[in-house]
Structure 1
Amino acid sequence: MQTTTLSFENIHQNGELFANMFRARRELFIVQNKWDLPEAMGMEYDQYDTPASRWVVVHDKLGKVLAGNRLTPTTAHCGIYSYMIRDAQRGLLDTIPSNLLFDEAPVSENVWESSRLFVSHDVPARLRRRVHAQLVFELAKAARNLGATQCLTLLNANWPRWAKRVGVDMTAMGPVMEIDGINNQVVSMNFASNLH
């Protein structure tokens, strides 16, 4: 199992991995979850997949994607969009309620958003926990390398059951709310104590 943090600067060094990550997202979010999301050439994408973002990908030696995640700075802008949680709060997204945060969404160089976190549906049950832990460890490492002391993410509200297991200090930033029949919550992952 390997992990690579992709950016628009290094995708040329990683063969098909970038495209494979978007293909794996399509398989999970569009095919399995039946979400109505943009797709092209067998890949899922959205307005936040820009050169400002980074993608943490857990994969095997052949480039098969096991898990992934997108990191976007809260200072990002692309047309009317900034980052998913803030745009939902501003009422720009139909699929996420605008009351998802207790306070105003932050815009700060040391706060990034973690989104599109997934573990591929075909990762065997016996490996899922290990793959998920590796993904969270690497996303924390990538976020710290980018100068983030905090990441906001919209997660399944069962996060308190596994947060300590993966070693991340997490705090609720909004109410539990149902989206597509699943209880979700915005959470802050605190990386400040891990910065060197």
Structure 2
Amino acid sequence: MQTTTLSFANMHNHGELLANLFRARRQSFIVQNGWDLPEADGMEYDQYDTPASRWIAVHDGLEILAGIRLTPTTTRCGIYSYMIRDAQRGLLESIPRDLIDFEAPVDPHIWESSRVFVSHTTPMKIRRMVHAHLIMEMTKAARDLGATRVIGIIPANWPRWASRCNLDIEPAGRILTFEGYESQAVWVNLAEKLH
């Protein structure tokens, strides 16, 4: 099992890994969850998959076991910035505008995590380990990018597993039910982990 942080600058070093991540996202979000998302050539993508983002892959060779996307809260592409802010601004129909209790931050030290998944083909016996690798690499990558905090939408059952992953998480908004799941926007605090 390996973890790799992918970017537009380094994707050429990893063969089909980034394309396979988008294929696994399609399987997870479009096929498994039934979400109405853009797709092309068997890959799921959206307006936040830009050169500003990074993608964390947990993989066995080129087979994707899990993934996550990190996007700086300072990014802009046309009318879009990042998912949570754009939802709050009413640009996304599928995510409620009141998902957080404050104005969405625009800060070079805050990154957003999104498109978090574990592949349906990942065996149950290694899922906890895969999830731990995903979170460790996300934390490391975010710190390397200068983040002291990450904001993201995750399953509402996060209090059960946050301490197991050694994460300092706090709610950033109310529990939401959308796309058929209970979710919540949360802060992941990284400042203490910078040393």
Smaller-chain TM-score bracket: over 0.9
- TM (norm. structure 2) is 0.99
Q: 2: CA distance between counterparts of 1:110 and 1:133?
A: 23
Q: 1: CA distance between counterparts of 2:82 and 2:140?
A: 21
- TM (norm. structure 1) is 0.98
Q: 1: CA distance between counterparts of 2:19 and 2:30?
A: 16
The structural deviation recorded for 1:180 is 2.2
CA-to-partner distance for each residue in 1:56-113, whole Å, 9 max, x for gaps?
A: 100002x100000000000000000000000000000000000000111111000000
Q: Look up the match of 1:26.
A: 26
CA-to-partner distance for each residue in 1:12-37, whole Å, 9 max, x for gaps?
A: 00000010000000001000100000
Q: 1: CA distance between counterparts of 2:146 and 2:89?
A: 26
Q: Look up the match of 1:12.
A: 12
Q: 2: CA distance between counterparts of 1:33 and 1:181?
A: 8
Q: Look up the match of 2:115.
A: 116
Q: Look up the match of 1:153.
A: 152
Q: 1: CA distance between counterparts of 2:180 and 2:39?
A: 23
Q: Look up the match of 1:75.
A: 74
Q: 2: CA distance between counterparts of 1:37 and 1:55?
A: 18
Q: Residues 154-193 of structure 1 correspond to what in structure 2 (within 5 A)?
A: 154-193=153-192
Output the amino acid matched with 1:27: Q
CA-to-partner distance for each residue in 1:127-164, whole Å, 9 max, x for gaps?
A: 11110011001000000000000000101100000000
Q: 2: CA distance between counterparts of 1:83 and 1:4?
A: 22
Q: Residues 12-161 of structure 1 correspond to what in structure 2 (within 5 A)?
A: 12-61=12-61, 63-161=62-160
Q: 2: CA distance between counterparts of 1:158 and 1:21?
A: 25
Give the share of equivalent positions with the same residue, in percent: 63
Q: 2: CA distance between counterparts of 1:116 and 1:83?
A: 12
Q: 2: CA distance between counterparts of 1:134 and 1:36?
A: 29
Give the root-mean-square deviation of aligned CA atoms: 0.6
Q: 1: CA distance between counterparts of 2:92 and 2:51?
A: 21
Q: 1: CA distance between counterparts of 2:112 and 2:179?
A: 21
**Secondary structure of 2:120's match?**
coil
Q: 1: CA distance between counterparts of 2:96 and 2:33?
A: 19
Output the amino acid matched with 1:17: L
Q: 1: CA distance between counterparts of 2:108 and 2:43?
A: 30
For structure 1, list consecutive stretches of 5 or more residues without a partner in the other structure.
none
Output the amino acid matched with 2:74: T
**Secondary structure of 1:76's match?**
coil
User: What count of residue pairs does the alignment treat as equivalent?
Assistant: 195
The structural deviation recorded for 1:183 is 1.1
For structure 2, list consecutive stretches of 5 or more residues without a partner in the other structure.
none
The structural deviation recorded for 1:175 is 0.4
Q: 2: CA distance between counterparts of 1:193 and 1:32?
A: 36
